[in-house]
Amino acid sequence: MFKTLMGGAVAVTIAIFSPAAQAAQCGNDASGFTAWVDNFKRQAPANGIPAAVVTRALADVQYNRPTIRADRGQKSFKLSFDQFMKKRGGQAIISRGKSMKASNAALFSAIERRYGVPAGPLLAIWGMETGFGGFLGDQHTLSAVTTLAYDCRRSAYFTEQLYAALQLVARGDLSPSARGAAHGEIGQTQFLPLNVLRYGADGDGDGHIDMVRSRADALASTANFLVGHGWRAGAGYQPGQPNFVAIQGWNAASVYQQAIAHIGAQIDGR
């Protein structure tokens, strides 16, 4: 049932991109965006992306100001644990997470057999990222990623994400019109494009990784991400325990890491 579609796609992404391959000089406002995109469109085919894919994927990209505002204003990660839990609705996530665990018992059992990751932390991530798929974001994904590739703050990092997004378009796993979170995160558990290439798993067996419409794909991919960041089957995942390092790989903010561990433990009854 579970197929992890990675390997070759990752190798291509790593091989085709280096900071030197960036399309043009970055910028800190909208003034140079169109020229940057035009240069990128000319360079991307030489870096392994078919010209038709580049044209189709980037036809409607625009400088995305909500993305820039979000990138400059991530204030909730500075809250205390209690403040963060209240702001993110931690108790509601725990309550609904228990119900979602019961109603999707077969799926979570299959994922745990395959990856060794129990339901709790997956439900914690799913609940905090999108309210269990209730809100996946309203920003044009390719505009968001392209804006951050152009923006000087993390241009090299997001140019790599942009190449990954184009590969997802090429293989039919990302629509050019897709919408998601402000930094270009995709689907029910909010993967950046390169992480879809690295850790994406076909949880429902249909031959594609659909992070938006398939909860099986999204949750299997999330479990595979945790395994890729050191998860060991059967070990604990609270702070100081072996699998907390995998949770740290999910998000750099310590308060977010603590929330995943706490919510997951409450759902798992640990």
pLDDT 10s digit of each residue in the chain, 270 long?
A: 555 554 333 333 334 444 444 446 899 999 999 999 999 999 999 999 999 999 999 999 999 999 999 988 766 577 899 999 999 999 999 999 999 999 999 999 999 999 999 999 999 999 999 999 999 999 999 999 999 999 999 999 999 999 999 999 999 999 999 999 999 999 999 999 999 999 999 999 999 999 999 999 999 999 999 999 999 999 999 999 999 999 999 999 999 999 999 999 999 997
Residue 115 included in any domain: yes
Are 263 and 94 contacting, i.e. CB atoms less than 8 angstroms apart? yes
Query: 217 and 124 in one domain?
Result: yes
Query: 260 and 153 in one domain?
Result: no
Count of the separate structural domains present in the chain: 2
Residue 117 included in any domain: yes
Q: Choose the final residue of a domain: 189, 208, 229.
A: 189
Query: 107 and 12 in one domain?
Result: no
CATH of the domain at 19: 1.10.8.350
Residue 166 included in any domain: yes
Query: 44 and 155 in one domain?
Result: yes
Query: 241 and 219 in one domain?
Result: yes
Are 61 and 37 contacting, i.e. CB atoms less than 8 angstroms apart? yes
Tell me what pLDDT residue 8 has.
33
Q: Choose the final residue of a domain: 161, 189, 217.
A: 189
Are 152 and 191 contacting, i.e. CB atoms less than 8 angstroms apart? no
Tell me what pLDDT residue 25 has.
87
Residue 85 to residue 179: CA distance in whole angstroms: 27
Question: Which tokens hold the place of 69?
Answer: 């505002």
Tell me what pLDDT residue 72 has.
85
* Residue partners of 158: CB distance under 8 A and separation at least 6: 145, 148, 149, 151, 184
Query: 219 and 125 in one domain?
Result: yes
Could you tell me whether strands 179-180 and 139-140 are parallel, antiparallel, or unpaired per DSSP bridges? Answer: antiparallel
Q: Is 223 exposed, middle or buried (0-12, 13-18, 19+ CB in 10 A)?
A: buried
Q: Give residue 24's domain range.
A: 3-71+137-189
Residue 113 included in any domain: yes
Query: 261 and 243 in one domain?
Result: yes
Instruction: Report the predicted TM-score, pTM, of the whole model to 2 decimal places.
Output: 0.88
Residue 213 included in any domain: yes
Tell me what pLDDT residue 73 has.
75
Query: 143 and 49 in one domain?
Result: yes
Query: 35 and 118 in one domain?
Result: no
Query: 214 and 254 in one domain?
Result: yes
Residue 150 to residue 262: CA distance in whole angstroms: 37
Residue 126 to residue 123: CA distance in whole angstroms: 5
CATH of the domain at 85: 1.10.530.10
Residue 194 included in any domain: no
Tell me what pLDDT residue 22 has.
46
Query: 214 and 260 in one domain?
Result: yes
Query: 39 and 11 in one domain?
Result: yes
Tell me what pLDDT residue 270 has.
78
